[in-house]
Amino acid sequence: MQVKKVREYMKDSKFTVDDIRSISTAGAGLLKWVFAMVNYYSVARTVDPKRKKVAESEKNLRLAQKELAKIKVSLCVCVRAYVCVCVSVCL
């Protein structure tokens, strides 16, 4: 994989942006970008599964909230019916 190959170069203490800048300013800019992409890749590999888990959990939460709303409506209907029965018995 290309990232592994780049990481091998990143381990070399002589392969830094400053050292490359002494040879080529454009090369230093490109190397800085490559290092940023490698770091982004590492972070994305860690964060992406967590983002997916959060999205799945949020979806489950929305479904549970919808179900709870339905249950609350049913409970309200039952309580009203109970109150009506109690009132009619007391009269």
pLDDT digits 0-9 by tens, 32-88: 999 999 999 999 999 999 999 999 999 999 999 999 999 999 999 999 999 888 888
Q: What is the mean pLDDT of residues 12-17?
A: 85
Full residue range of the structural domain in which residue 24 is found: 2-90
- Entry pTM: 0.59
Please tell me the total count of domains within the chain: 1
* DSSP per-residue letters across 33-85: HHHHHHHHHHHHHHHHHHHHHHHHHHHHHHHHHHHHHHHHHHHHHHHHHHHHH
Burial group, residue 31, by CB count within 10 angstroms (0-12, 13-18, 19+): buried
Is the pLDDT confidence value at 15 over 90?
no
The whole-angstrom separation of Cα 50 and Cα 36 is 21
Which pLDDT score, from 0 to 100, does residue 91 have?
A: 67
Length, in residues, of the chain: 91
Among residues 30, 47, 34, the alpha carbon closest in space to that of 8 is found at 34
Is the confidence at residue 1, as pLDDT, over 80? no
